[in-house]
Amino acid sequence: MFTGEILWDIKPGGGKAIAWKQHRLVTLRLAQAYKRINSSKYNRILQCGSSLVFKRFSNDSMKLHAANFCNTRLCPTCCWRRSVKNFAQVSKIMDSISDDYQFLFLTLTCKNVNAEQLNLQIDKMYKAFKVLCLRILKQAT
Protein backbone atom coordinates (compact mmCIF):
# COMPACT_ATOMS: atom_id res chain seq x y z
CA MET A 1 0.00 0.00 0.00
CA PHE A 2 1.41 3.38 -1.01
CA THR A 3 1.26 5.89 1.81
CA GLY A 4 3.51 8.61 0.42
CA GLU A 5 5.10 8.78 3.87
CA ILE A 6 8.73 9.94 3.88
CA LEU A 7 10.67 7.15 5.54
CA TRP A 8 14.09 7.33 7.10
CA ASP A 9 16.31 4.31 6.68
CA ILE A 10 18.49 4.36 9.80
CA LYS A 11 21.47 2.05 10.27
CA PRO A 12 20.93 -0.44 13.11
CA GLY A 13 22.19 0.54 16.54
CA GLY A 14 21.16 4.19 16.34
CA GLY A 15 23.41 4.96 13.37
CA LYS A 16 23.07 7.70 10.80
CA ALA A 17 20.38 7.89 8.15
CA ILE A 18 21.21 6.09 4.91
CA ALA A 19 21.55 8.55 2.03
CA TRP A 20 19.01 7.23 -0.49
CA LYS A 21 18.13 10.69 -1.75
CA GLN A 22 21.73 11.72 -2.52
CA HIS A 23 22.37 8.49 -4.44
CA ARG A 24 19.10 8.91 -6.32
CA LEU A 25 20.02 12.46 -7.40
CA VAL A 26 23.39 11.33 -8.77
CA THR A 27 21.65 8.45 -10.55
CA LEU A 28 19.29 10.92 -12.23
CA ARG A 29 22.29 12.92 -13.46
CA LEU A 30 23.77 9.74 -14.92
CA ALA A 31 20.46 8.96 -16.62
CA GLN A 32 20.56 12.37 -18.32
CA ALA A 33 24.07 11.61 -19.58
CA TYR A 34 22.82 8.32 -21.06
CA LYS A 35 19.93 10.22 -22.66
CA ARG A 36 22.36 12.62 -24.35
CA ILE A 37 24.18 9.70 -26.01
CA ASN A 38 20.89 7.94 -26.92
CA SER A 39 21.69 4.86 -24.86
CA SER A 40 19.13 2.13 -24.32
CA LYS A 41 20.06 2.13 -20.62
CA TYR A 42 18.49 5.56 -20.09
CA ASN A 43 15.04 4.32 -19.01
CA ARG A 44 16.41 1.59 -16.73
CA ILE A 45 18.69 4.04 -14.92
CA LEU A 46 15.98 6.71 -14.79
CA GLN A 47 13.65 4.30 -12.93
CA CYS A 48 16.37 2.85 -10.69
CA GLY A 49 15.45 3.22 -7.03
CA SER A 50 12.30 5.19 -7.80
CA SER A 51 10.17 2.75 -5.79
CA LEU A 52 11.25 1.41 -2.41
CA VAL A 53 8.98 -0.85 -0.36
CA PHE A 54 9.80 -1.24 3.31
CA LYS A 55 8.48 -3.93 5.62
CA ARG A 56 7.57 -2.66 9.08
CA PHE A 57 8.14 -5.03 12.00
CA SER A 58 6.36 -5.20 15.34
CA ASN A 59 9.16 -3.30 17.12
CA ASP A 60 8.65 -0.37 14.67
CA SER A 61 11.87 -1.17 12.80
CA MET A 62 11.79 -1.33 9.01
CA LYS A 63 13.75 -3.19 6.38
CA LEU A 64 13.85 -2.75 2.63
CA HIS A 65 11.53 -5.44 1.28
CA ALA A 66 11.32 -4.71 -2.45
CA ALA A 67 12.65 -2.14 -4.89
CA ASN A 68 13.28 -1.57 -8.55
CA PHE A 69 17.01 -1.41 -9.22
CA CYS A 70 18.56 -1.36 -12.70
CA ASN A 71 21.75 -3.32 -11.85
CA THR A 72 23.66 -1.29 -14.42
CA ARG A 73 27.38 -1.46 -13.73
CA LEU A 74 27.90 2.32 -13.57
CA CYS A 75 24.69 3.23 -11.73
CA PRO A 76 25.64 5.09 -8.51
CA THR A 77 22.73 3.67 -6.52
CA CYS A 78 23.41 0.09 -7.60
CA CYS A 79 27.17 0.47 -7.02
CA TRP A 80 26.52 1.81 -3.53
CA ARG A 81 24.11 -1.02 -2.69
CA ARG A 82 26.55 -3.58 -4.08
CA SER A 83 29.39 -2.16 -1.96
CA VAL A 84 27.22 -2.24 1.19
CA LYS A 85 26.26 -5.85 0.46
CA ASN A 86 29.89 -6.86 -0.19
CA PHE A 87 31.04 -5.13 3.00
CA ALA A 88 28.43 -7.00 5.04
CA GLN A 89 29.44 -10.34 3.52
CA VAL A 90 33.17 -9.74 4.02
CA SER A 91 32.58 -8.55 7.60
CA LYS A 92 30.64 -11.70 8.39
CA ILE A 93 33.40 -13.89 6.98
CA MET A 94 36.14 -11.93 8.76
CA ASP A 95 34.33 -12.21 12.09
CA SER A 96 34.17 -15.99 11.76
CA ILE A 97 37.81 -16.56 10.72
CA SER A 98 39.69 -13.71 12.38
CA ASP A 99 41.24 -15.91 15.10
CA ASP A 100 42.73 -18.39 12.65
CA TYR A 101 44.46 -16.09 10.15
CA GLN A 102 46.75 -13.12 9.85
CA PHE A 103 45.79 -10.46 7.35
CA LEU A 104 47.78 -8.42 4.91
CA PHE A 105 46.53 -5.30 3.18
CA LEU A 106 48.04 -5.06 -0.29
CA THR A 107 47.62 -2.42 -2.96
CA LEU A 108 48.86 -3.24 -6.45
CA THR A 109 49.34 -0.45 -8.96
CA CYS A 110 50.65 -0.02 -12.47
CA LYS A 111 51.09 2.80 -14.94
CA ASN A 112 48.10 3.79 -17.04
CA VAL A 113 47.84 2.03 -20.37
CA ASN A 114 45.86 2.93 -23.47
CA ALA A 115 42.63 1.10 -24.33
CA GLU A 116 44.26 -1.24 -26.86
CA GLN A 117 46.68 -2.58 -24.22
CA LEU A 118 44.18 -2.82 -21.35
CA ASN A 119 43.27 -6.51 -21.81
CA LEU A 120 46.92 -7.48 -21.99
CA GLN A 121 47.74 -5.41 -18.89
CA ILE A 122 44.89 -6.97 -16.88
CA ASP A 123 46.06 -10.45 -17.91
CA LYS A 124 49.61 -9.59 -16.77
CA MET A 125 48.29 -8.34 -13.42
CA TYR A 126 46.21 -11.49 -12.82
CA LYS A 127 49.19 -13.68 -13.72
CA ALA A 128 51.50 -11.73 -11.40
CA PHE A 129 48.99 -11.91 -8.55
CA LYS A 130 48.62 -15.66 -9.05
CA VAL A 131 52.41 -16.08 -8.90
CA LEU A 132 52.49 -14.02 -5.69
CA CYS A 133 49.77 -16.15 -4.08
CA LEU A 134 51.52 -19.37 -5.08
CA ARG A 135 54.81 -18.13 -3.58
CA ILE A 136 53.09 -17.21 -0.32
CA LEU A 137 51.41 -20.62 -0.14
CA LYS A 138 54.73 -22.35 -0.89
CA GLN A 139 56.47 -20.44 1.93
CA ALA A 140 53.67 -21.25 4.37
CA THR A 141 54.13 -25.00 3.92
Which of 110, 101, 102 is CA-nearest to residue 129? 110
- The CA distance from 69 to 35, in Å, is 18
What number is the average pLDDT over the span 57-81? Answer: 86
Q: How many residues does the chain have?
A: 141
Identify any residues that bridge with 10 across adjacent strands, giving them in sequence order. 17
Report residue 14's pLDDT band, with 50, 70 and 90 as the boundaries. Answer: low
Determine if the pTM surpasses 0.75. no
What pLDDT, on the 0 to 100 scale, is given for residue 93? 83
Contacting residues for 41 by C-beta, under 8 A, at least 6 apart: 34, 70, 72
Higher pLDDT, 27 or 17: 27
pLDDT tens, residue by residue, 80-135 = 889 988 998 988 888 887 677 777 777 878 889 998 999 999 999 999 999 988 99
